[in-house]
Structures are given as C-alpha cells and as structure tokens.
Amino acid sequence: MKSVCLLLLISLGCQRRESSSEAAPTPVAPTAGEYAQDIAALCDCVSRSGADKGEEDARALTIANWLSANLKTPESRKFLVEIQPLVGDAKANRLDAEAKRVGLSGCALAAEWRAPAVN
C-alpha cells in the first residue's frame, strides 16, 4: 500500500500546466486537527522536504518520499488520490480550495502548479 501511495505522490508532483474541466469533489474530512496539519504540510511540501534545495531531477521523488513519511491521516492520502488525475490549474484550484477550507490563507504548492514550467 505504501508503494502505491508513493507512486501516486510521484505522479502528483510531475503534472503542472495542463488543463482539466473536472468538477471538484466534495471535501473528504473536517477542517480541524491532524487533517488540517496534513494539508498545511502538503502545501509546504517543497520547502519542508528540501526539494527546493536539491537536484531538479530528484525533486518529485524527494517530495513523494517526504509526503509518504509525514502525512498522518488517511483522509489526506485520500485527498491526494482524488486530485491525482487533475492537471494544471484544475489541480491547483482544488488544492487551494482545500487549503482555504481548512483555514490556510494560501498554498505554495498550488501556486507552483500554476507557474509556467521552466525548461
């Protein structure tokens, strides 16, 4: 199961600027407690994992490994599975909406997904 989550998390970090018109699913968990902390961790996963300071080629794997080790709730993992098929702005919007729903003022990961890919 952990390897399946890891693969999903890796693909989560690899998709950035395509569009999708899928509607946002209903929230998966309440706004308080460990779930809210997990969403905050997800939003800050690039810096918390150290991926922003490492090799670009290892970025997705670094983030995926960090998320796998640090997300505490099954609801946060379910949320990742739900947004995994989304791409670009649709994925960023869904993550931003969930971050706001749990009380965060913004989400760095969602902002990064909206930024144009640098080649």
Per residue in 20-54, pLDDT (tens digit) is: 444 444 545 455 699 999 999 999 999 999 999 98
In the DSSP assignment, the letter for residue 53 is G
49 phi/psi in degrees, rounded to 5: -80, -15
Q: CA 78 → CA 2, 3, 92, 117, distances in Å?
A: 13, 15, 16, 27
pLDDT at 4 over 50: no
Residues constituting the chain: 119
Radius of gyration for the chain, computed over Cα atoms and rounded to the nearest angstrom: 13
| Span 89-99, average pLDDT | 96
Q: Which residue has the tokens 């989400």?
A: 107
Per residue in 71-89, pLDDT (tens digit) is: 999 999 999 999 999 999 9
Q: What is the pLDDT of residue 116?
A: 72
Q: What is the pLDDT of residue 35?
A: 95
pLDDT at 1 over 60: no
Q: H-type helices in 1-119, by residue range?
A: 2-14, 34-43, 45-49, 59-70, 74-83, 88-101, 108-114
pLDDT at 107 over 70: yes
Q: Where are the domains of the chain?
A: 2-13+30-114
pLDDT at 12 over 70: no
Q: What residue type is assigned to position 50 of the chain?
A: G
CB atoms within 10 A of CB 20: 14
